[in-house]
Amino acid sequence: MGWAEDIDVSGGVEPWKRPEFGKWLPSTIGKEVSVIEHRIAVEESRTDEYDIICALKIDRLSRRVLHVHTLLEWCEKNGKEVATVEDGINLNTQLGRLLLSLITSFAEGELEAIKARAKSSYNHLVKEGRWRGGRTPYGYREEKQEAGDGWKLVPDDFGTDTAGTLREIIRRLIAGESANTIAQWLNEDVSRTPTSLDAQMIRSGKSPKGSRWTAANTAKVVRSRCVLGQMEVSEETMVDGKKTTRRRVVRDADGQPLQRAEPLITHEEWELANKKLDENTSKRNGNRKGGSPLLRVAFCTCGEPAYLAPGRNWPYYRCASRTTHKPCPTGSKGIAAHTLEDAVEQAFLLAAGDVEIVRKVFRPGVDHTRDIEEANRALSDLREDREAGLYSSELGKQEYREAYKRLDARREQLIAQPTRPDTWEEFPTGETYRGRWSTLSTQHEKGRELRAAGVKAVIHAEPIPAVAAAQLMAPDGHDGMWQHPVGRVQVLIPMDFKQRLRNIAAVHSEG
């Protein structure tokens, strides 16, 4: 005699797939397999240890008619019997099998009713803005409703303070840091900046696992619309005959994203951070940890970027054509890293050292493009639901027409409203580039400042003659740049820095 007890396992799961019951059955039941494969499955199971399968009731075997009949058919072929305690049915008679089908059908109907009630409860909780359990989105914590009716999500701005960490991640991304660099900062002290799983364990009074941040999970947190207080669900769809999983935003009755919690950041900040992530996906972005400090700053005269490579005594910047084993068309020569970096720093501070750094602030305009796209997506989702048969009844058809008319009217209203473009406003910081430079300790930090300022450095094969910078021709694609030659390096600085210097000089002379 042996017992099989599967706790918290759905009655809709096939008996041969359950953790405990499945040990007593071959996994090949109901499948067309070879004799050898079936024999292996029988040998791995405990099939030869019993003659009768006994359950309290038939629905303990399964709540699916097909599963029960498949199990009975296998038992009949393999000399096993099935008995139940409370049903009192003789399964060896035709009447008994008929009663079995009826009872199993009722059990299957009850299973579907349970699923429907669970789904209805889930949808109701979501629409009410209540937390329905599961993994808590990063930046939030669960909190008991004041009225005592369930739970809600609120910003986690104390204790683990994941909301503050999320906002700092967004700030650093917008400022130009890469996901790799931010992940390294997060891992400096994971007790202060725990991952999503560890933060949830800490709030539950459990010891954290010490999981680490990576560029991937950092980007995943930022890209999720959960940080906007909205909700995303995963659903499986068929695309070209293949099953695929997609993320979909849950919408309210008007087709708008359902707002279940207070946003942690603005929509503009979320879009800017995601745009930065897209830009940093490129290997040529210059913000990768460990990359060349002057990536996207240093170029060869042929137009190819210059990459940092090891040398006999010190690292060198060399034309990218060297990595493809092709000769540089302009006969470029490598240059010592410290020589190039010193030349660029000298020219930049000479031109822009006294320029005051301005802080750019994004001022969103009035643009309903995003809302129109949301309306279009909502209409598309509605049509997909209709094609899937979710509005097949007469009442469903009426609900579909009303929802479609409401969304279409909102879209027309948005299209008719005027727009105003986004703008950036500049505010003086009181700090000059020379002052900022004195606070930078690494070449990577300086390279980030040079990229932000739009500085370029063209490496020539021979020293540049001592001529006026204005007489030196700028390479293709570098028009509108002020030029300063240093040795073999032609440093190109945007003209607006020169204009700002003229303005400063004019103010000083008038004073």
Rounded to an integer, the average pLDDT of 381-386 is 79
Rounded CA separation 215/240 (Å)? 32
Q: Which of 83 and 481 is assigned the larger pLDDT?
A: 83
Domain boundaries, the chain: 15-127, 131-285, 290-361+424-510, 365-421
Q: Where are the alpha helices (DSSP H) in 62-93?
A: 65-77
What's the DSSP call for residue 324?
G
Q: What is the pLDDT of residue 396?
A: 78
**Helix residue ranges, H only, 134-214:** 162-174, 179-187, 196-203
Q: Taking a C-beta distance cutoff of 8 angstroms, is the pair 457, 299 a contact?
A: yes
Which tens digit of pLDDT belongs to each residue from 124-167? Answer: 455 555 556 667 889 998 887 766 567 788 899 988 899 999 99
Higher per-residue pLDDT: 377 or 287: 377
For residue 133, is it left (φ>0), alpha (ψ between -120 and 50) or beta?
left
Does residue 224 carry a pLDDT above 80?
A: yes
Does residue 166 or residue 102 have the better pLDDT? 166
User: What kind of architecture, by CATH, is found in domain 15-127?
Assistant: 3-Layer(aba) Sandwich (3.40)
Question: Does position 505 have pLDDT exceeding 70, yes or no?
Answer: no
pLDDT at 264: 92
Task: Say if CB 198 and CB 165 are below 8 A apart.
Answer: no
Domain boundaries 131-285, corresponding CATH code: 3.90.1750.20
For residues 99 and 126, the answer to whether their CB atoms sit within 8 Å is no
Strongest mean pLDDT among 64-78, 158-172, 246-260, 287-301: 158-172
Whether the predicted pLDDT of 497 surpasses 70: no
Residue 504: predicted pLDDT: 45
Task: State residue 239's pLDDT score.
Answer: 58
pTM: 0.46
Whether residue 109 contacts residue 117, with contact meaning beta carbons closer than 8 Å, is answered with no
Q: What is the rounded average pLDDT of the residues 27-56? A: 85
Higher-confidence position of 114 and 271: 271
What is the Cα–Cα distance from 286 to 175, expressed in whole angstroms? 14
pLDDT given at position 32 = 76
Mean pLDDT for 2-21 is 83
Average pLDDT, stretch 496-504? 55
Letter string b/e over residues 256-282, b meaning 16 or more CB atoms within 10 A of that residue's CB: bbbebbebbbeeebbebbeebbeebee
pLDDT band at residue 213 using 50, 70 and 90 as cut-offs: very high
